[in-house]
Amino acid sequence: MTTANDSDSGSVSPRSLLPSPSTTRVPAQSKDPVAWYQDFLERHDRLIARIEGKEVFSTAEVALLVKVAPRTVNKWFDSGRLGGERVGRSRRRQVSRAELVRFLREHGMPVPELLGEVGQATTNEREDADFDE
């Protein structure tokens, strides 16, 4: 009887697929948490700057703005709760700025400052509308 570890069987042991301790990458935050967090903030700021002027967002960008996992945004999109469209041959999901703001307001979620100006009347505009009647 041969086992999965026998070299003549040709099968691979599940343990052999795991990385060896010498090749396992140590997360940066375990070395220096302050440096890791500063690096995280720099990367976050670069991503936000890239998103700032956009009118259409990927699900990853929506997740970053709303502070949820990308998979959560995909579920919202696939269930029809968050509207958008699929584009390209890979059928990537894209969400417009106006649709994202609508979704956030409809579900009582905070609207990030980057998105707040879409379809939001200022206090003066609302007061002026009352006087026009």
At position 67, the amino acid (one-letter code) is K
Task: Note the pLDDT of residue 18.
Answer: 52
Task: Note the pLDDT of residue 128.
Answer: 44
Task: Please state, in angstroms and rounded to a whole number, the distance separating the CA atoms of residues 70 and 20.
Answer: 30
Whole-structure pTM value? 0.57
Nearest to residue 98, comparing CAs of 113, 117, 73, 81? 117
* pLDDT by 10s per residue, the chain, length 133: 555 455 455 555 555 555 555 554 555 555 788 888 888 888 888 888 888 888 999 998 999 888 899 999 999 999 999 999 999 888 999 999 999 999 999 999 998 887 765 544 433 344 444 444 4
Task: Note the pLDDT of residue 75.
Answer: 96
Task: Note the pLDDT of residue 125.
Answer: 41
Find the distance separating the first CA and the last CA of the chain, reported in whole Å.
Answer: 91
Task: Please state, in angstroms and rounded to a whole number, the distance separating the CA atoms of residues 116 and 97.
Answer: 10
| Range 115-128 burial, b when 16+ CB lie within 10 A, else e | beebeeeeeeeeee
Task: Note the pLDDT of residue 10.
Answer: 54
Full set of structural domains in the chain with CATH: 55-119 (1.10.1660.10)
